[in-house]
Structure 1
Amino acid sequence: MRRTSPLAASLVAGLLVIEATVGATFAAAAKDPVSGCQLAAAGSKIQHVIYLQFDNTHYMRDNPSVASDLEQMPHLLNFLTTNGTLFTNDHTILISHTAGGILSTQTGLYPDRMGINVSNSYFYFPPTKVPAFSTAFKYWTDLVDDTTGANDALPNMVGDGQKTTPAPWVPFTRAGCDFGAISLANIELENTGTGPFGDMSEVFGTGSPEWSEAVASNAAPSGTAARAKALTDFVGIAVHCAQGGGICTSTAKDVTNSRPDKLPDESGGYLGYVGLFGAKYVNPAVCDPRPSTCSTVMGQPAVNNMFGTPVTDPFGQPGFPGFDGATAANTLGYLAQMQEAGIPVTWGYISDAHDNHTSAFPAPFNPNFPRASGPGEADYVAQLKSYDDAFAAFFARLQADGINQSNTLFVVTVDEGDQYAGGIGIPQPDGTLAYSHTNCSWTTTPACPSNQIGEVNLNIKPKLPAGSPSFVVHSDSAPTFYVNGQPDRTNPTLRKLERDVGGLNAIDPYESSTAAPVFVRLADPVEQLTLHMTNTDPARTPSFTAFANADFFITAANSGPSCGSNPCIDYHFAWNHGSIQPEIATTWVGFVGPGVKRGGIDTSTWTDHVNVRPTMLALLGLTDDYVHDGRVLIETLEKKAIPKQLDEHAKTTLRLGEVYEQLNAPFGQFAMDTLTASTTALRSTDDSVYNSIESSIQSLTSQRDALATQIKNALDGAAFKDQKLKEADAKDWIDQAQSLIDQAAALAAGS
């Protein structure tokens, strides 16, 4: 779950005031993209880019008798497998959460180089060394401390050299292409903050009318239309306009509504670019002149979703529906409207289908919703059917616009997988399954129903010995621990806490009525560096990370959990991620368009999120101002689309890419083996064992980093700078990489 809010249908129906009849589903024709937009590599026919990232949507089945998410969206699944290649052995990053998964895909960088090493929120050590809270979801240029800037003045998206990570829209706008987006992490406004470094202050300026609207909105009672107003108007939707102004200069109103697109750390500079931020300003631009696919609601233009209904918030106000309201119908409606308005590059996020988002933020509080749904449950099945219908309408609408696989690059993927925490549903007459949506707690032995649903909540603080140091955790199935004072990793008190955490047992009712280890792996700063979990801001390095049995959700509060006993089951949440289990780690990505092979379903190619961006850019003939951590997936490219230097020794280059990923990826063999060794070290009471293993991991990681840098520089140079990739060098690197992988495996086996 990213955060919160599809629309309560009855509420919307009661509050919508639609002043114009919703027209036909399809627009008559799309406008031509900005004439200066240069997207395609030499000889390619690509004129449009449509990039979609789902939240927690699965290719594999969570229940063998229930079709998977993608199987229940056949219009999408068939589109990807018939017209392109669907990789089903893709992988996310660590820790595996929405913000990190999306941002690694958008940038082609692991968390250590794009900043979001812990998400969806994190703590950091200010000068007092008492951990302070921050959120990963902020606009691209925001600071860690976006309240005062005094406690940590580095960027939230901190990258190489402690500068803001290069923004993903820059190559497109520099190529003369408008870039539109809805709901994806950090490329639109993420909040209505009005402090000195809040999103509203940064983009619109303190004292501006937009800022004043946000001040008033933030002061309104929670769960009201007034409270939602600024979020609806300004958050979650944006157009970054092309060099020269693009759609931002289409009309005098668009010029007035546009604001400087500030990227002060961008390599080569980024002066003179502008953008439209929020539906209040995007809607008039993409709905002018008013097509049948837009409506007038409350006197304002509204984009219609794929079913012809205006996209609104839960109170019927036109604009951003909330992040959980980014359903397939709403997101695809916006992307289609943007394309038809002449915006050739459109990126969007689609919220998960396995949660019932009724009453999600910013709607009024409801103690029963939102809540999780189980595999095959009626509302889950219905939501997937709605998603599939939306994709059917989307592809038909684009086809009518002349936008299809012959001239458009489609990339569709997901942020991370999930562990389903729950029992087996009870069959119903209509073929669906029913689950027990009640909390379950126990004194000694659990007696939860067989169709129980919900994560196992464990408050870790009361379970630890008296005298444990003060700490906070990023609550998760992979909690990161931040110990007051930011002690060195060898500090005896910290070492004891690691052992106490690593030795904790508790009951997981889905597995047994007997207590068993809660945590399966442990990593301190040494191993976190190996896992790409250490960015260039030393204040954000966790004291250690504990990876749990994925049925558990770990907190560290002074009381609770609220579902009863400790642990207990909370039915509101049942789809856990963050930890290292294969069902969480493994994701999927599909490519369709000119230059992409019609490869169907590829179950064997091992890939991960950071490969998506370089593969896209290679097809588009665009470049970034940095070296990617990922590689071009030549496995999915037609021979004519493979960069010349990658194709010259294709078999060797392919083998180099494969071994590079096992060496460098967070879920590659090298990292998983060193994590096994790290767990032994942190649990050990023998300092000599601890020091020996830690020293070995440090040495191996140092060698890994040096070799990985050589390999990725060579692969990136061959792909984007036409630099020759010498086969002798590649073969030597393959041997070196395999040697390091073997050494890590031996370390794990001997630990």
Structure 2
Amino acid sequence: MRRLIRLAAFAALAAAALVPGQAQAQTQASAQAASPANCTLNNGIKHVISIQFDNTHLFRDRANVPSDLEQMPNLLNFMTSNGTLSDNEHTILISHTAGGILTSLTGLYPDRQGITVSNSYGYFKTGTNATAFSSAFKYWTDKVDDVTPTGVNDPNPNMVTTGGLNTPAPWVPYTRAGCDYGAVSTANVVLENTRTTPAGDMTKVFGANSPEWNEAKATPALAQTDFVGIAVHCAVGGGICNTSTHARPDLLPDEPGGYNNFQALFGAKYVNPAITGGANAVNDTNGHPITDPAGNPGFPGFDGALAKNTLGYIAQMQEAGVPITFAYISDAHDNHTLFRASGPGEADYVQQLHDYDQAFGTFFSRLAADGIDKSNTLFVFTADENDHFAGGNSSDGTWSHTFCNVTGGQTCPANQIGEVTQNIKALVPAADLPPAFDIHFDSAPTVYVAGNPAPGNAQVRQFERDLAAAQNVDPYVSSSPSPVMLRIADPVGQKALHMVNADPQRTQTFTYFANPDYFLTTGNTACPTASVPTCVDYHFAYSHGDVTEDIARTWLGFVGPGVKNLGRTSDTWSDHADIRPTILSLLGLKDSYEPDGAALVDFLDTSAVSRELRAHHESLVRLHTVYKEIAAPFGPFAADTLVASTRAIASGSATDDSAYASTESSISSLTSQRDALEAQMRTALTNATFGGPLASEQQLKSMIDQGNQLLDHASALASAS
């Protein structure tokens, strides 16, 4: 969920009470989709439709209620009957919407794509080391500090990669190949704000005092509808941008190999006419114009990215000759009218899933009538991450949408719903609190101590020890106090989890992975009137960001040319970094960099993979398995080093911190070895998939053996800590 950031934007739209625009809808779907002239892909693929859901579940949250996908049989059956649906897919750390989507889009773990903490993050300001916060949702080229004119507080890109450069953009291989790339609510690929400051998106894209800039200045809610959330990055030669006078330069100054003379259409105001033949509205799958809450045609908001809206946009783009579409669908379990979460089996939740299912049924039928189907289209479906449902139990789908005052000793009803909102300061003796610190509110809060002290700082160490030992009443666990924390990591441990990027100002002091029933803040909660440190808040009930299996493990579906029909399978462990290289390998495209993932060849027909992958299939599959075990944020190397980190940080005293120092040194050494071996394996897998010098069987075996030895050392450290 794009938590709070998006709710605020939606509230602004509703409050604006704008006069609804005349929603001129496009004509109904054409009998045959337009064919892009210069977009040539491998394996007979003519179209790519990639959809990433927000927190949509294949596994059941409660045994007596069918899961989200079970309640969407049109989608579930499409994947299992025509392709492969893996239920052994995993997200990354920190496991939130922005990070999960951006790893899927780039094939890079957070340390190399930049978003190590989301959906917002803290950073230490240049010069003062005071803490500031930034949204992770920003257009691809935006800076961390996009408030001051020059980014003085942190001039690095939000999407930062090795060397402090801007991460390569995900649409580039497609547009260079002659394919227009459409995006619907896709994180950081579309404009994300309407700011008119010097570094704001309206200024950078359209220019100060332009009509768009003036609209954003005068009516920012309308500008959100017109310019945010929808985009087409146009192919070399112009593509669909040639049909519009409103295309703007698609600027990527750090793109490897340069990216000159490309254009893009930003916003529904300009995309809609280009893909409808001149209409100012696109229809949803029910045939109704897609509008914002005030009735203006255009972007419905990120929380308004319902299946009917997103699928309507995808179909219209494909029919207009935009062959590559990447899109986002918002979760079904948050009621954006009542501004609260809904529990498993609750009537509004069930209805929303029914509506999603109907939208997919209409969508697939419409595409089939257009000649867009599994014979010529690569379909990819996944979710950014799974969730932990914070709630009790209900036999009939009714849930108690009330606050529960845990501090006051209130007994919560059996069907209580909501996260246990906890003031982190109340978990620590007041004398041990740092004079100034802040956190990213979350079930796994990242902590920023003012001054950016180095690991091992005495005051920070006592703060960490206190939090590691903290106990409190979680009403879903017991009426007696139980541990709040699951795991904890400081910068040494975070590096092993791929949570330290190329911008040192964004490295948090430590990360506190709590029991995911909790949502940690730095203040008390009105519960509903008494201000207390511990309160169940029914507005939010689906936690992510944390390290538990119910959050980490999600699902991934492929349908189309070159994809095996395996139905539902658990046989291959994968994570979001593997999605992009799998797609590109099928299409015959490649990135300018080595991805952190690898093509999931077990899901692909033999004829669809490279000759090198076929010739060394067994060894490369074994290498991929060990590679994921040492590299993945939810792999065993990461899990074992996190166990060791937790025990080390919880240990010691003001007079003896030797166990902490020793274990930190061991983790650092193992991580350095891991990083070096990971890079070798990454090169071998990339070359075998996309071309390049191929490692010999002996070299592959050596890397596999080294990986297994490294895993043994990490396991031993976890056991000994």
TM-score, normalization: structure 2? 0.96
In structure 1, the partner of 2:675 is: 705
Mapped to 2, the partners of 1:373 and 1:82 lie a distance apart of 30
Report the CA distance between 1:12 and its aligned residue: 14
Q: Does 1:578 align with 2:545?
A: yes
The answer on whether the counterparts of 2:595 and 2:682 sit within 8 Å (CA) in structure 1 is yes
In structure 2, the partner of 1:403 is: 372
In structure 2, the partner of 1:528 is: 494
Mapped to 2, the partners of 1:560 and 1:319 lie a distance apart of 37
Mean Cα deviation higher: 209-218 or 652-661: 209-218
Q: Does 1:353 align with 2:327?
A: no
Given residue 129 of structure 1, which amino acid in structure 2 is its aligned partner? N
Q: Summarize deviations over 1:101-159 as a string: whole Å, max 9, x none.
A: 00000000000000000000011011211111111000000000001111111100000
Report the CA distance between 1:383 and its aligned residue: 0.3
Given residue 71 of structure 2, which amino acid in structure 1 is its aligned partner? Q
Report the CA distance between 1:28 and its aligned residue: 2.7
Report the CA distance between 1:603 and its aligned residue: 1.2
**Within-5 A mapping of 1:437-516:** 437-467=401-431, 468-469=433-434, 470-516=436-482
TM-score, normalization: structure 1? 0.92
**Within-5 A mapping of 1:181-580:** 181-218=183-220, 228-250=221-243, 254=244, 256-288=245-277, 301-358=280-337, 369-427=338-396, 433-467=397-431, 468-469=433-434, 470-557=436-523, 559-560=524-525, 563=528, 564=530, 565-580=532-547
Q: Relative to structure 1, is the Cα distance of residues 419 and 212 closer, same or farther in structure 2, using a 3 angstrom cutoff?
A: same
The answer on whether the counterparts of 1:22 and 1:309 sit within 8 Å (CA) in structure 2 is no
The answer on whether the counterparts of 1:548 and 1:579 sit within 8 Å (CA) in structure 2 is yes
Mapped to 2, the partners of 1:20 and 1:636 lie a distance apart of 43
Mapped to 2, the partners of 1:741 and 1:730 lie a distance apart of 17
Mapped to 2, the partners of 1:38 and 1:425 lie a distance apart of 52
Mapped to 1, the partners of 2:351 and 2:697 lie a distance apart of 53
Report the CA distance between 1:448 and its aligned residue: 0.9
Q: Which of the residues 34, 38, 43 maps onto 1:36?
A: 38
Report the CA distance between 1:723 and its aligned residue: 3.0
Mapped to 2, the partners of 1:88 and 1:536 lie a distance apart of 32
Mapped to 2, the partners of 1:719 and 1:561 lie a distance apart of 55
Percent sequence identity is 58
Q: Summarize deviations over 1:282-324 as a string: whole Å, max 9, x none.
A: 011011055xxxxxxxxxx100000111100000000000000
Mapped to 2, the partners of 1:192 and 1:105 lie a distance apart of 26
Mapped to 1, the partners of 2:211 and 2:578 lie a distance apart of 42
Mean Cα deviation higher: 501-510 or 13-22: 13-22
In structure 2, the partner of 1:92 is: 91
Mapped to 2, the partners of 1:381 and 1:634 lie a distance apart of 36
Given residue 104 of structure 1, which amino acid in structure 2 is its aligned partner? T
Given residue 543 of structure 2, which amino acid in structure 1 is its aligned partner? N
Q: Summarize deviations over 1:398-428 as a string: whole Å, max 9, x none.
A: 000000000001111110110000111242x
Mapped to 1, the partners of 2:53 and 2:247 lie a distance apart of 29
Mapped to 1, the partners of 2:162 and 2:709 lie a distance apart of 28
Q: Relative to structure 1, is the Cα distance of residues 443 and 98 closer, same or farther in structure 2, using a 3 angstrom cutoff?
A: closer
Q: Relative to structure 1, is the Cα distance of residues 496 and 12 closer, same or farther in structure 2, using a 3 angstrom cutoff?
A: closer
Give the match's secondary structure for 1:434: coil
Report the CA distance between 1:22 and its aligned residue: 7.8
Give the match's secondary structure for 2:285: coil
Given residue 503 of structure 2, which amino acid in structure 1 is its aligned partner? D
Given residue 532 of structure 1, which amino acid in structure 2 is its aligned partner? H
The answer on whether the counterparts of 1:11 and 1:314 sit within 8 Å (CA) in structure 2 is no
The answer on whether the counterparts of 2:92 and 2:634 sit within 8 Å (CA) in structure 1 is yes
Tell me, which stretches of 5 or more residues in structure 1 are unaligned?
219-227, 291-300, 359-368, 428-432
Report the CA distance between 1:11 and its aligned residue: 12
Mapped to 2, the partners of 1:204 and 1:533 lie a distance apart of 34
In structure 1, the partner of 2:663 is: 693
In structure 2, the partner of 1:222 is: none
Give the match's secondary structure for 1:239: strand
The answer on whether the counterparts of 1:61 and 1:68 sit within 8 Å (CA) in structure 2 is yes
Mapped to 2, the partners of 1:513 and 1:678 lie a distance apart of 29
The answer on whether the counterparts of 1:23 and 1:308 sit within 8 Å (CA) in structure 2 is no
The answer on whether the counterparts of 1:200 and 1:210 sit within 8 Å (CA) in structure 2 is yes
Given residue 275 of structure 2, which amino acid in structure 1 is its aligned partner? V
Mapped to 2, the partners of 1:29 and 1:310 lie a distance apart of 21
Give the match's secondary structure for 1:618: helix
Mapped to 2, the partners of 1:261 and 1:596 lie a distance apart of 33
Mapped to 2, the partners of 1:624 and 1:100 lie a distance apart of 20
Q: Summarize deviations over 1:231-267 as a string: whole Å, max 9, x none.
A: 00000000000000000002xxx0x210000000000
Given residue 300 of structure 2, which amino acid in structure 1 is its aligned partner? P
The answer on whether the counterparts of 1:27 and 1:397 sit within 8 Å (CA) in structure 2 is no
Report the CA distance between 1:19 and its aligned residue: 6.3
In structure 1, the partner of 2:717 is: 747
Q: Relative to structure 1, is the Cα distance of residues 698 and 21 closer, same or farther in structure 2, using a 3 angstrom cutoff?
A: closer
Give the match's secondary structure for 2:2: coil
Mapped to 2, the partners of 1:439 and 1:270 lie a distance apart of 53
Mapped to 2, the partners of 1:561 and 1:596 lie a distance apart of 52
Give the match's secondary structure for 2:84: strand
Given residue 511 of structure 2, which amino acid in structure 1 is its aligned partner? T
Q: Does 1:640 align with 2:607?
A: yes
The answer on whether the counterparts of 2:17 and 2:294 sit within 8 Å (CA) in structure 1 is no
Q: Relative to structure 1, is the Cα distance of residues 13 and 160 closer, same or farther in structure 2, using a 3 angstrom cutoff?
A: closer
Report the CA distance between 1:207 and its aligned residue: 1.7
The answer on whether the counterparts of 1:446 and 1:509 sit within 8 Å (CA) in structure 2 is no
Corresponding residue pairs, total: 706
In structure 2, the partner of 1:224 is: none
Report the CA distance between 1:217 and its aligned residue: 1.9
Report the CA distance between 1:17 and its aligned residue: 6.6
The answer on whether the counterparts of 1:457 and 1:561 sit within 8 Å (CA) in structure 2 is no
In structure 1, the partner of 2:170 is: 168
Mapped to 2, the partners of 1:696 and 1:135 lie a distance apart of 34
Q: Relative to structure 1, is the Cα distance of residues 188 and 562 closer, same or farther in structure 2, using a 3 angstrom cutoff?
A: farther
The answer on whether the counterparts of 1:561 and 1:567 sit within 8 Å (CA) in structure 2 is no
Mapped to 2, the partners of 1:119 and 1:203 lie a distance apart of 25
**Within-5 A mapping of 1:669-748:** 669-685=636-652, 686-748=656-718
Given residue 295 of structure 2, which amino acid in structure 1 is its aligned partner? G
In structure 1, the partner of 2:577 is: 610
Q: Does 1:51 align with 2:50?
A: yes
Q: Relative to structure 1, is the Cα distance of residues 19 and 198 closer, same or farther in structure 2, using a 3 angstrom cutoff?
A: closer
Given residue 652 of structure 1, which amino acid in structure 2 is its aligned partner? S
Report the CA distance between 1:722 and its aligned residue: 4.3
